[in-house]
């Protein structure tokens, strides 16, 4: 009998998954319940003086996180930290190190995992705009 993804997940929810040491299993879903990995829920956008990033979608929601555009050119030694927007009744903490801000400024793509909120995390993909 062929099994679709939803049936497989329901079947395997009580199963134990063995992974090699140092390997992590991370599943995130979009609105349809299909995995979207760490793909942002929307492209980044300039909103006023901030670059606003959207996290990946988990379950049926995502969050946004804004970074002042000037911070990339002159990041503080301690980096930056804050909270995402609220969705589904919760937020996530976000910390971006100085070196990550500098790397975005040079054109690199940086992925940041949020703190745990409501039992899960999200991924924010930082890229340079313009």
Range of the domain at 66: 26-126
118 to 53, 66, 86: CA distances (angstroms): 20, 21, 11
Is residue 18 situated within a structural domain?
no
Is residue 105 situated within a structural domain?
yes
Residue 22, pLDDT score? 38
Strand bridging mode 110-113 / 123-126: antiparallel
Q: Which residues contact 118 (CB under 8 A, 6 or more apart)?
A: 88, 89, 90
Give me the average pLDDT of each 10-residue run along the chain (130 residues): 48 41 38 64 97 95 97 97 97 98 97 96 94
The number of distinct structural domains making up the chain is 1
Is residue 93 situated within a structural domain?
yes
- At 40, phi and psi to the nearest 5? -60, 145
Is residue 7 situated within a structural domain?
no
Is residue 78 situated within a structural domain?
yes
Q: Is 116 in contact with 31 (CB distance < 8 Å)?
A: no
Is residue 17 situated within a structural domain?
no
Q: Which residues of 67-88 are buried (b: 16+ CB within 10 A; e: fewer)?
A: beeebbeebeeeebeeebeebe
Residue 4, pLDDT score? 53
Is residue 19 situated within a structural domain?
no
Residue 37, pLDDT score? 84
Is residue 10 situated within a structural domain?
no
Residue 114, pLDDT score? 97
Residue 130, pLDDT score? 79
Residue 10, pLDDT score? 45
Residue 2, pLDDT score? 56
């Amino acid at each position: 009998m062929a099994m679709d993804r939803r049936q497989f997940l329901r079947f395997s929810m009580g199963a134990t998954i063995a992974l090699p040491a140092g390997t992590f299993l991370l599943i995130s879903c979009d609105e349809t319940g299909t995995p979207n990995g760490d793909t942002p829920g929307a492209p980044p956008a300039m909103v006023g003086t901030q670059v606003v990033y959207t996290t990946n979608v988990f379950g049926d929601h995502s969050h946004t996180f804004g970074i002042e555009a000037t911070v990339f050119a002159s990041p503080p030694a301690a980096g930056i930290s804050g909270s995402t927007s609220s969705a589904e009744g919760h937020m996530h903490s976000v910390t971006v190190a100085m070196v990550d801000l500098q790397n975005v400024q040079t054109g690199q793509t940086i992925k940041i995992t949020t703190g745990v909120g409501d039992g899960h995390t999200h991924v924010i993909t930082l890229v340079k705009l313009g």
